[in-house]
Structure 1
Amino acid sequence: MSKTEDFRKHIQEGYTFKKDYIILGGAMLDGEPVSDALVKIPLKTLNRHGLIAGATGTGKTKTMQVIAEQMSLKGIPTVLMDIKGDLSGLAQPGESNDHIVWRHGAIGVPYEAEKMPVELMSISEQKGVRLRATVSEFGPVLLAKMLELNDTQEGIMSILFKYCDDTKLPLLDLKDLRKSLQYINGEGKAAIQKEYGQISSSSISTIMRKVVELEQQGADLFFGEKSFDVQDLLHTNKEGKGQISIIRLTDIQNKPKLFSTFMMSLLAEVYETFPEAGDDDKPKLCIFIDEAHLMFNEASDALLDQIEIIIKLIRSKGVGIYFVTQLPTDVPDEVLSQLGLKVQHALRAFTAKDRKAIKKTAENYPLSDFYKTDEELTSMGTGIAMVTGLNEKGIPTPLAVTLLQAPKTRMDILSQKEIDEVVDYSLLAEKYNKNIDRRSAYEILEEKIEKIQEEELQEERRKQQEKEDKAIEKTRRSTTTRKVGRPRKSTTEKAVDSFVKTAGREIIRGIFSVFGIK
């Protein structure tokens, strides 16, 4: 048996499954495609998570596009984080060319261009279905981890949420949160401390600064109503194709904290609301996180711990998470160890650091009699990737350098007119794109604070009036006659009295002189 025949048998045995699967492409040996050596992934293991890695320009985004298409055709809904703006073309059919004809001929799979059911979504000002969550839904624990609060500050956040629950103050958006923090540090501080214990003003000020920092990254557009129901990610169309939800994130590349906040919120909401799935034949939902390093680089240790926990547990909900990034080392080891499917595009070895990273990457893949993994990692062309997944029993499939399928959909972005059409015909956009600002903690506390301030102002005025009245009374008393009832004499009357007294004294002296009396 020749080396090629031995390799073909090796691939066929390793990629033969009893149940349904998706096809990634065809296996290659010594740089050439091998016929009848399809590289497949069973639907049953797609909730075991995955990694798509490789240097810039090696085809990671198109691989994500192909996998999302394949899942959609099998009725599996997907969510794609579109940070570079490359994925909107999924809403339109692709176009064949000579290279695509050659590629699919070499793989042994016919090429059929077709469009997929797409929903364009946004957490910012870009056009699409608006994704929002309320502060209350986020909860004090996750919010504290996201804001990187210490234990004392996290305790204050829990007290704040408890107080708002007890007093029926809805925490919907960030202005509700800021106003509540302002209240428990000011007008309501005495009542809060009497009921819930001492709170530190300096800690509240620190929390306030971190909330403002998050707000400056655009989180005020994310927190609020109407809250997005993650069940709306699970739609399939009348043809049985799974909905592809593309979340447009091109304007938050320089806002990593907002990105990690949104991702943590989405994963937590999916985990909390989806029922246990057991061992289904295919996942309910798969989520692709492009530029995954943005999620991990800015996350605190506490947030990373939370992400790790959710990645481990969310599989039981029938949900698969796929990280797309340049290097496997961009993903923490604790998360990397949970990933079943690995699609590794070429890496570039320009520096000693690059070579060290390539060596470490090669160690993450199964040993193969047919490949020198570290050499293959630097020699693969665009649209070629090293693949290993899991079979139906959870055992790693053979390592295969794979000539990947071409996308069935457009390998370019939609025009603005096409984007407008997708959004205008969206039932979800009609459901979620209405601005709602109902009466909540901000308005209620604003009124309460105004009432308290008005009462304090009236009390101050009353005290001032009392003070003025006392001063007037004191002045009045000091100017009245010591003997009550005797009227005071006028100036003329006083002059007459003085004249009479003087004249009387002179008359008496005259009489005494006549009689010689001195």
Structure 2
Amino acid sequence: MQQVLDLASGTVLVGGAGQGYGSAQSLLLKYANRHGLIAGATGTGKTVTLQTLAESLSLAGVPVFLADVKGDLSGLALSGTPQAKLHDAFVKRADQIGLTLDYQSFPVTFWDVWGEKGHPVRTTPAEMGPLLLSRLLELTDVQEGVMNIAFRVADEQGLALLDLKDLQAMLVWVGQNAEDLSLQYGNVSTASVGAIQRALLVLENQGGNNLFGEPALELADLMRQDQSGRGVINVLAADRLMHSPRLYATFLLWLLSELFEQLPEVGDPDRPKMAFFFDEAHLLFDDAPKALIDKVEQVARLIRSKGVSVWFISQNPTDIPEDILGQLGNRVQHALRAYTAKDQKALRMAAQNYRPNPDFDTAEAIQNVGTGEAVTSLLENKGIPGVVQRTLIRPPFSQLGPLTAQERSAVIGASIMGAKYDTPLDRESAQELLAKRAEEAAKASAEAERQQATDDGLFDMDREDYRNARRYDPDAGNRTRQSRSSGGRSSRSDSIAVTFGKSLARQLGTKSGQALVRGVLGSLFRGR
């Protein structure tokens, strides 16, 4: 009987021969970081394939991060049982493959942007950066330029952008100082600032404020092993996140970018440092600008040398841009339906991506494989694509299907990550610092006005009366100083005039005074 993990050959079993063709198919761990593809129509077994690959990599000591779109993958945390609904079918499949059916649970950590179905997973605007944020907010090129200016100024002035409130406060400051900033960084339009603020408000209403904050996720907490050496499987609850597809895609792309920037070069290790499964991958590329697709392609190409294995899961290989698809050497293709001319063309294109097998027609096999069966091509020695094979995907060892709410809560409660991430942190950052600056500026302005009032001899007035007096009689302070310099000698008429000016200024500062002026002016115009 075969075992899933063969340390001697450095392989993990993917599946056995299907319908008498070929032989068992295994993934070479040293080529697992060449990335992979799992594709197929809805209901053909993609989720089970993802589950079994995550199990196999965990057994090999490889930490895994995956997005659980439908909630089904939470079953990784519990062992399968002989009482399971599909137990008899699994036993039959295991016998056909020649595999020992070893039911077991796996070390799982649950994460959730909203903190409801897992530990809160957060990042900061500073870590995500202006490019990905602009992609998330669907900003124009001009608005993206303003976003870049806001980040640049915040960095230069030591204003930490740790949550959405910080970014919103920074944009307000940029708008207020647009004229000065335009001279140094280029045009800053207040209309563009307003458009970004509206986009941030929409993001906040969609729950995006939960994504930004502290404590921010540390990658080391995703790349862990349990006490027995199995890789921890990190499951991101994405069922609710899928309702905000741009938030979903941007977060996962940020995570890939962080892995790329932080991990050291390792070349071709004997096994991946981490495996990353990107379910519903088409969401990353739908309506994406070329600059962003180029960024994904760059990360996918270069992150291999950091020891990270990336798997894209989608319904059709054509969902993935060709430049990225060409880097996916390990492929598991479930059935594709060809009901329309467009579907038939996509089927032919999918078949052309495989090294042909003389024993069968690849396009026909892709169309006819059953549920749980797939057409596979896995990298062989020297990284050469293997000949396409029809493969029976091995049955999972963990529970097939989701956990109950109580079972999930028990797993979350037992996790050591709760003490670190469950309580949010709000330390002094851009919003607080800018508010403090504004408060200090207001105090300085008030002090300057008070000093000016004292110098003008109008210190007996309150602040509003002083402003009105200066508005309607700007020379009042000068006359007061001249009066002081002449020893306080002034005519009675001057005293009366000054007193009348003060009274008039005070009266004009009130609504009744303004109404009086309008009435007088109105009578003058009517008299004409």
Question: Structure 2 length normalisation: TM-score?
Answer: 0.82
5 Å matches for 1:256-405? 256-405=245-394
Question: Residue 342 of structure 2: SS of its match in structure 1?
Answer: helix
One-letter identity of the residue aligned with 1:240:
G
Distance 1:69 1:17 in 2: 15
* Superposition deviation, residue 237 in structure 1: 1.0
* Superposition deviation, residue 418 in structure 1: 0.9
CA RMSD after TM alignment: 2.6
**Contact 2:135–2:250 at 8 Å: present in 1 too?**
no
**Contact 2:39–2:314 at 8 Å: present in 1 too?**
yes
**Contact 1:77–1:234 at 8 Å: present in 2 too?**
yes
* Superposition deviation, residue 151 in structure 1: 4.6
* Residue 421 of structure 2: aligned partner: 432
Q: Residue 55 of structure 1: which of 41, 48, 67 is its match?
A: 41
**Contact 1:79–1:244 at 8 Å: present in 2 too?**
yes
**Contact 1:79–1:245 at 8 Å: present in 2 too?**
yes
**Contact 2:332–2:374 at 8 Å: present in 1 too?**
yes
* Superposition deviation, residue 368 in structure 1: 1.1
**Contact 2:39–2:334 at 8 Å: present in 1 too?**
yes
* Superposition deviation, residue 143 in structure 1: 3.0
* Superposition deviation, residue 222 in structure 1: 0.7
**Contact 2:79–2:399 at 8 Å: present in 1 too?**
yes
* Superposition deviation, residue 432 in structure 1: 1.1
One-letter identity of the residue aligned with 1:165:
D
Task: Write the deviation string for residues 295-350 of structure 1: whole angstroms up to 9, x where unpaired.
Answer: 22153322211111100110000001101111111111111111011100111122
Distance 1:157 1:192 in 2: 13
**Contact 1:214–1:257 at 8 Å: present in 2 too?**
no
Distance 1:447 1:95, change over 3 A: same
Distance 1:230 1:480 in 2: 77
Distance 1:353 1:176 in 2: 48
**Contact 1:233–1:245 at 8 Å: present in 2 too?**
yes
* Superposition deviation, residue 362 in structure 1: 1.2
Distance 1:480 1:435 in 2: 65
Distance 2:108 2:496 in 1: 93
**Contact 1:260–1:299 at 8 Å: present in 2 too?**
no
Q: Which runs of 5+ in 1 are unaligned?
A: 1-15, 482-518
Task: Write the deviation string for residues 207-230 of structure 1: whole angstroms up to 9, x where unpaired.
Answer: 323333333332211111111111
**Contact 1:146–1:300 at 8 Å: present in 2 too?**
no
* Superposition deviation, residue 56 in structure 1: 0.8
Q: Residue 419 of structure 1: which of 402, 408, 411 is its match?
A: 408
* Superposition deviation, residue 142 in structure 1: 3.6
* Residue 454 of structure 2: aligned partner: none
2:95 aligned with 1:91, yes or no? no
**Contact 1:43–1:282 at 8 Å: present in 2 too?**
yes
One-letter identity of the residue aligned with 1:177:
L
* Superposition deviation, residue 158 in structure 1: 2.9
* Superposition deviation, residue 153 in structure 1: 3.5
* Residue 243 of structure 1: aligned partner: 232
Distance 1:480 1:215, change over 3 A: closer
5 Å matches for 1:112-511? 112-186=102-176, 188-189=177-178, 192-193=181-182, 196=185, 198-453=187-442, 459=449, 461=464, 462-467=466-471, 477=493
**Contact 2:115–2:121 at 8 Å: present in 1 too?**
no
**Contact 1:47–1:320 at 8 Å: present in 2 too?**
yes
Distance 2:206 2:310 in 1: 25
Distance 1:197 1:322, change over 3 A: closer
Distance 2:301 2:234 in 1: 23
**Contact 1:77–1:235 at 8 Å: present in 2 too?**
yes
Question: Residue 386 of structure 1: SS of its match in structure 2?
Answer: strand
Distance 1:233 1:125, change over 3 A: closer
Q: Residue 26 of structure 2: which of 40, 44, 55 is its match?
A: 40
* Superposition deviation, residue 201 in structure 1: 2.0
Question: Residue 444 of structure 1: SS of its match in structure 2?
Answer: helix
Question: Residue 240 of structure 2: SS of its match in structure 1?
Answer: helix
Distance 1:68 1:367, change over 3 A: same
One-letter identity of the residue aligned with 1:110:
T
Question: Structure 1 length normalisation: TM-score?
Answer: 0.83
Mean Cα displacement is larger for which, 126-135 or 58-67? 126-135
**Contact 1:148–1:300 at 8 Å: present in 2 too?**
no
Mean Cα displacement is larger for which, 143-152 or 387-396? 143-152
Distance 2:220 2:351 in 1: 39
One-letter identity of the residue aligned with 1:162:
R
**Contact 1:218–1:258 at 8 Å: present in 2 too?**
no
**Contact 1:59–1:383 at 8 Å: present in 2 too?**
yes
Distance 1:33 1:99, change over 3 A: farther
* Superposition deviation, residue 352 in structure 1: 2.0
Mean Cα displacement is larger for which, 386-395 or 210-219? 210-219
Distance 1:197 1:327, change over 3 A: closer
**Contact 1:52–1:344 at 8 Å: present in 2 too?**
yes
One-letter identity of the residue aligned with 1:208:
Q
Distance 1:209 1:301, change over 3 A: farther
**Contact 2:179–2:188 at 8 Å: present in 1 too?**
no
One-letter identity of the residue aligned with 1:239:
S
* Superposition deviation, residue 191 in structure 1: 5.0
Number of residue pairs the alignment of both structures matches: 461
Q: Among the aligned pairs, what percent are the same residue?
A: 40
* Superposition deviation, residue 468 in structure 1: 7.0
Task: Write the deviation string for residues 392-441 of structure 1: whole angstroms up to 9, x where unpaired.
Answer: 31001121100110000000111111111111111112211111111111
Distance 2:255 2:474 in 1: 66
Question: Residue 138 of structure 1: SS of its match in structure 2?
Answer: helix
Q: Which runs of 5+ in 2 are unaligned?
A: 1-5, 450-462, 481-490, 498-528
Distance 2:187 2:56 in 1: 57
